[in-house]
Amino acid sequence: MINATLLRRALAEAVGAFGLVFAGTGAIMIDAESGGMIGHLGIGLTFGLIIMVMIYATGHISGAHFNPAVTIAFAAARHFPLSNVPVYILAQLAGAVAASALLRAMFGGIADLGATFRPVATASRSSSKPSSPSFDVRDHRRRDRRPGGRSGGGYRDWRNGRPGGDLRRPDLRRFDEPGPLACAGARLRHLGEPVAPYRRTGARSTGRRVRLRRHSSRTAGGNSVTEDKKIRVLFLCTHNSARSQMAEALLRHHGGGDVEVHSAGSEPGQVHPLAVRAMAESGVNISGAESKHLDQFIGQNFDYVITVCDRANETCPVFPGDPKRIHWSFDDPSAAAGLEEERFQAFRDVRNLLNMRLQNWLLAVNR
């Protein structure tokens, strides 16, 4: 029987798969119809952008698989409940088929809906017998065998018979549909793998961590002195038991000694054991962490105050020094229902999304 949580995740997978197929395939079809106006780069950007949008829109709900191969791979690696695989795959197929059906109704069969392999009728010069259809991924343009058909470079668009010697293939190779997206240059490690410290691209060869420092000036003896200070970051959620604790640990892991990071809650409880387990799976130990009350940090100066739940965002107090306020909305993994492994998956998902969001943020801070 499908519970409400699993049904919600399946719906998110269906929406994600629909958006991916509709935007990506639609770009291929429009490119074919317009004679290559979008181009390979445009199609690639379309796929990348729609994946990013769908991950941000539904990733916190379902993990943003969008592809049966990703779901099966996670299940094979024991990072996803095997019992949920059929539900996810059916939802993904339903979303993809619905998108393809809508595209066909809107545009017809242009570019075979972006198919990579398509049947191409071939004629044999040495035999009078008609050749059987074959699949050819090297060239999807067919020579015109009719008299006069070799004009314009010897090819005709087999889809509509237009002559032309500089024709583009109306279809492109199929783009794979990845799982959760890691930002460019980030060292995001997916389920179960150690989380590597974030480093700038230029620091890869030296192994230095990213520098999260801010510069402040003061006057000493009539001279202006510039000080290099750590950036102070505060993560807030309601109970300071899972989301903010994982965010604090991940940022401290990535930033090392260049960042001073804290977390707190408006109604602190106990650090959730599944949050401890999820972080330990990634090589970060928070077994000694304690939930802290927000009042402990009232009146302190921070450079960034980041809320990771909607309730904390609504009740966030004002801090001195005009810190930059950021809100990242994540579902509370503690509220997940089901068996322990299904609940643990919710903590894994939030951990991975936090890691991805933090590394994107680090890239932006250091520009």
Report CA torsion sign: 178, 179, 184, 189.
negative
* Confidence at 106, pLDDT banded by 50, 70, 90: confident
What share of the chain in percent tops pLDDT 90? 43
Model confidence pLDDT, tens digit, residues 301-315: 999 999 999 999 888
Residue tagged active-site, from 72, 102, 316, 363: 316
CA angle at 226 for the pair 367 and 230, rounded to the nearest 5°: 55
In contact, 105 and 25? CB cutoff 8 Å: no
In this structure, which amino acid lies at residue 246? M
Provide the token pair at 254: 């990535």
Q: What is the DSSP letter of 169?
A: P
* Listed residue (242, 309, 308, 306) closest to 276, CA to CA: 242
**Per-residue pLDDT, 151:** 40
Separation CA 99–CA 115 (nearest Å): 14
CA angle at 250 for the pair 244 and 252, rounded to the nearest 5°: 100
309 is catalytic: yes
In this structure, which amino acid lies at residue 167? L
What are 227's strand-pairing partners? 216
Residue tagged active-site, from 237, 251, 276, 279: 237
Q: 């916190």: which residue's tokens?
A: 60
**Per-residue pLDDT, 179:** 36
Q: 């799982």: which residue's tokens?
A: 179
The residue ranking higher by pLDDT, 315 or 257, is 315
* Confidence at 186, pLDDT banded by 50, 70, 90: very low
Provide the token pair at 123: 């004629």
**Per-residue pLDDT, 217:** 52
CA angle at 229 for the pair 227 and 231, rounded to the nearest 5°: 150
In contact, 192 and 204? CB cutoff 8 Å: no
Residue 287 has pLDDT above 90, yes or no: yes
CA angle at 160 for the pair 121 and 174, rounded to the nearest 5°: 65
What are 264's strand-pairing partners? 236
Residue 95 has pLDDT above 90, yes or no: yes
Model confidence pLDDT, tens digit, residues 147-168: 444 444 443 443 344 443 333 3
183 is catalytic: no
Residue tagged active-site, from 29, 51, 294, 309: 309
Highest-confidence segment of 111-115, 186-190, 271-275, 321-325: 271-275
Separation CA 29–CA 3 (nearest Å): 38
**Per-residue pLDDT, 33:** 72
* Listed residue (226, 180, 200) closest to 365, CA to CA: 200
Pairing of strands 213-220, 119-120: unpaired
Distances (CA, A) of 154 to 96, 140, 142, 254: 37, 14, 9, 58
Model-level pTM? 0.46
Main-chain phi, psi angles of 319, to 5 degrees: -105, 150
The whole-angstrom distance between residue 33's C-alpha and the CA centroid of its chain comes to 30
**Per-residue pLDDT, 113:** 77
Q: Which of 69-73, 104-108, 269-273, 283-287 has the least mean pLDDT?
A: 104-108
What are 324's strand-pairing partners? 304
Long-range contacts formed by 356-360: CB under 8 A, 24+ apart = 356/180, 356/181, 356/182, 356/183, 356/186, 356/188, 357/328, 358/198, 358/247, 358/250, 358/251, 358/254, 359/182, 359/183, 359/186, 359/187, 359/188, 359/198, 359/254, 360/183, 360/186
In contact, 270 and 286? CB cutoff 8 Å: no
Separation CA 95–CA 152 (nearest Å): 42
| SS3 assignment, position 11 | helix
Residue 180 has pLDDT above 60, yes or no: no
Q: What string of DSSP letters covers 281-313?
A: HTT---TT----BGGGGTT---SEEEE-SHHHH
